[in-house]
Amino acid sequence: MLRLFTGIDLPPELKLDLSRLAGGLPGARWIDAGNYHITLRFIGEVNEALASDIDDALARITAPRFEITLAGIGTFGNRQLWVGVERNDALFHLHDKIERALVRVGLEPDGRRFQPHVTLARLKGNDARLQSFIAGNALHRTAPFPVRHFSLIASYQTKAGSVYEDQADYRLR
């Protein structure tokens, strides 16, 4: 069984920039900068045959290249600290194409609203320091970066955290 998701990797210089935000927040488990990405669609655990069907379906997607800008800091409840993605119609268009392709191969539709982001840390609780961190970094914004492909990625759980491995890349035109 493979635990899969589709995502967009970030350029190394952007990962370095985001890694500079890590720290100064007690109780936060900071994500390794090498794992920073934007999840397009979490797939979950699938067998090899379904993984092959998913790969075939994703390879048939055609979508234009585009640019993304990361901006803003927020949380999902008391669980995750993230950097947001500025509204981008091309990104939502790609997400929708991926969703339709995955449903066609037999996956259940993802019932969650797509909220693109880069997870920076897993959180334990919400205190004044978290609110101060968010306020102090609320205006964080990156330069736009090009998106030339998206990837099918396997996630392996280890004691040290998740390890991600690209299974396939799909070029945008």
What are the residue numbers of the active site?
37, 117
In whole angstroms, give the CA distance from residue 33 to residue 31: 6
87-91: long-range contacts, CB 8 A cutoff, minimum separation 24: 88/116, 90/63, 90/64, 90/66, 91/66, 91/116, 91/147
Among positive and negative, which fits the CA dihedral 16, 18, 24, 25?
Answer: negative
In whole angstroms, give the CA distance from residue 170 to residue 54: 12
| 79 token code pair | 């669980």
How many CA atoms lie within 13 Å of 79's alpha carbon, on the beta-carbon side? 2
